[in-house]
Amino acid sequence: MVKFMLKIAADLKNLTNLQPQGGCDDPSFSYLFKLKCENCGEMSWRETCVSLDHAVPLRRGKGTTNLIQKCKHCSRVETVTMISGQGKPLIQEESEAGKYAPLMVFECWGYEPVDYVFGGWWKVESVEGTKFEYVDLSGGDFAEYDKEGGCQVIISNLRSTFDVLK
Ligand SMILES: [Zn+2]
């Protein structure tokens, strides 16, 4: 088992606290990424979707996982299990310092997660306190005018990484 921490970064103009719509442990938030098989090296051709509220029982032993999938190339059965409670919103100070915010941990057996896609609904707030909900980042950026705060708000330069947790 290898644990991968998904971390995100973005340029936040007049914005802070970027996170999934229901918070970092949003049970219905969908995580989309590709899977690389560690056994044969084959990469999935399209994104897999996992969420905390979709649990499947493990065949052997106790407990559940979030994805059981057979590699199409080598037929090995591999799993992805989400570990909640590790995520933090991306705040403006960290964004300006070029830092990444941890979002979710994926414990993988046989797979390596790659190429995260910013799907699902996000929420963020302006530095003036105006809340923006159900933000769609799938197009790669977000731009609005904060009428109450009187400033332009922009999310751009979205980046992500899967770091191996030791
Ligand atoms: Zn394989």
- The whole-number pLDDT of residue 138 equals 94
How many structural domains compose the chain? 1
Distance of CA 89 to CAs 2, 34, 49, 130, 165, Å?
A: 24, 23, 21, 16, 19
Ion ligand 1 neighbours (CB, 5 A) are 37, 39-40, 42, 71, 73-74
* pLDDT less than 50: residues of the chain: none
Look up residue 56 and give its two tokens: 């499947």
**Which range marks the domain in which residue 101 is found?**
2-165
Within 10 angstroms of residue 75's Cβ, the number of other Cβ atoms is 9
40 CA → ligand 1 middle, Å:
4
